[in-house]
Amino acid sequence: MNQKEIENLINSYHWMVKEVHRLQRVLYGSVISMKNWGVAQYGLEAAMPKGSPGKSQAELRQMDMREERLFKRLKYYEERVYAVELGAEKIQGEQHKVIYDCMME
């Protein structure tokens, strides 16, 4: 990714989060915490049993075309929103962190 693509991704963050929440409400009936988006976990967290906040494999197979399209869009935006969030953790210097947060808004 080049600098312009990264800037566009950061600037698009705010509306992408809104779209993720909208799609989650349509597909799941409620908004799912970002910590439960299916991101790899390690240590004790990975070993603990937990219910799936999303759709089961059987439910995914039974989706109609519209739901399938919305589900793919949801996963696409979740990946980008999560990447922007992870990027915020990598930034050093308070001024740069503030600028990053302002760009996200």
Question: Which residues, in sequence order, are CB contacts of 70 under 8 Å at separation 6+?
Answer: 23, 26, 27
pLDDT reported for residue 87: 87
* Of residues 83, 84, 86, 69, the one with CA closest to residue 23: 69
Angle at 96 between CA 91 and CA 98, to 5 degrees: 110
pLDDT reported for residue 79: 93
For helices 65-90 and 3-28, the axis angle rounded to 10 degrees is: 130
Enter the pTM of the model: 0.70
Asked whether 100 and 89 are in contact (CB, 8 A), the reply is no
Q: d(Cα 17, Cα 33) in Å, to the nearest integer?
A: 11
pLDDT reported for residue 66: 84
Widest Cα–Cα separation across the chain: 49
Instruction: pLDDT tens for the chain, 105 residues: list them.
Output: 788 998 899 999 999 999 999 999 998 888 988 877 755 444 444 444 445 556 666 776 677 888 889 999 999 999 999 999 888 888 999 999 998 888 888
